[in-house]
Amino acid sequence: MTPAERSESARKAAAARWEAPAPLNIISGSPDTPLVIGGVEVECYVLEGGQRVISQGGMMTALGRSRRLNTKPGDDTSLPPILRISALREHLSDRLIEESEPITFLTAGGKRANGYRAEVLPQLCEAWLAARSAGDLVKSQLPIAHAAELIVRGLARVGIIALVDEATGYQDTRAKDALAKILEAYVTEELQPWVKTFDLEWYKQMFRLRGIPFDPESVKRPPYFGHLTNNTVYKRLAPGVFEQIKIERERDAKKKRAKMHQQLTAEIGHPRLREHIASITTIMKLSDDWNDYIEKLDRIHPIIDPNMPPALFDTEPDSGTGL
């Protein structure tokens, strides 16, 4: 397309959004059956007509971004919302722009939700990689490009396996989640350090309870938040965790530069941390101020005795005795 034709195409796409069709119904899938990529649950569905979609939140979290699409003054409103990132503008194909129009569907509860064609995810990843190659990304956007690279590689590996299975007829006998497990095993180890453990909602509640204005677009946090996180999260997670993390950080300079949650085991420690964060986020939402929050937290998740033995750094499998 010429620049004029591209502009006209974008204008028509923007106009079409005002004449959105009726929302589609889900024929397969639920929030309880996500696609798991690198430890991140990506909500996906099959809609009427066989249209495979990834929810808007799922598309964002797959790349390590906030689930919410935050618009800024000056954003190019002729583009679909998920593409309104200035660093990507020169790397968007006409096909990606066309296929990235949101698809509205009805959830099981009858609420309207937005999703994107599943085919958009690898195309969007390729745009991030092109922007990285061109040097158009700022430092804070590089983790997104890294996640995009791993997703593209992982999908390519799963794709060739799926084609072989289809050609040989093995797709009819393989386990239901076989391809998902292959993808998960391929990207988890590399992608895990980039996964956002403390999400936007957790920080939003922290800022509120501390009486500080919250800017969802900023990645800056008060330095003392680290001490608050130690007190409210790691010291209450499991016996000996906080103390063991400190010991290992002193022994290994590389670990000292890493984030604390990256030292937990992927099989037990990290999933338990995410459960703990979800729990304390709920407590924060139910609290009026910081003192109220700490009072509730002390009742539900008291600080654990540091003299108890470590629980999440064990390398031996559980005996199953419960002891």
Q: SS3 letters for 89-152?
A: HHHCCHHHHHHCCCEEEECCCCCEEEEEECCHHHHHHHHHHHHHHCCCCCHHHHHHHHHHHHHH
pLDDT at residue 271, as a whole number: 73
Selection from 231, 204, 234, 202 nearest residue 217 by Cα: 204
Global pTM reads 0.52
How high is the pLDDT of residue 299? Answer: 92
Strongest mean pLDDT among 1-5, 171-175, 297-301? 297-301
- Report DSSP state, residue 50: G
pLDDT of residue 205: 93
Task: Report the distance separating Cα 156 and Cα 87, nearest Å.
Answer: 25
Strands 103-106 and 35-37: unpaired
Q: Where are the domains of the chain?
A: 3-194, 200-300
121 pLDDT exceeds 60? yes
d(CA 145, CA 147): 5
Q: What is the pLDDT of residue 134?
A: 93
- pLDDT of 306 reads 63
Residues 6+ apart with CB under 8 A from 258: 193
Half-sphere exposure of 63 (CA within 13 A, CB side): 30
**pLDDT, mean of residues 222-240:** 85
The residues pairing with 52 across neighbouring beta strands, listed in sequence order, are 46
- Mean pLDDT, residues 136-142 taken together: 90
Q: What is the CA radius of gyration of the chain?
A: 22
So what's the pLDDT on residue 14?
Answer: 58
Instruction: Give Cβ neighbours of residue 45 (< 8 Å, ≥ 6 apart).
Output: 26, 28, 29, 30, 52, 53, 55, 105, 115
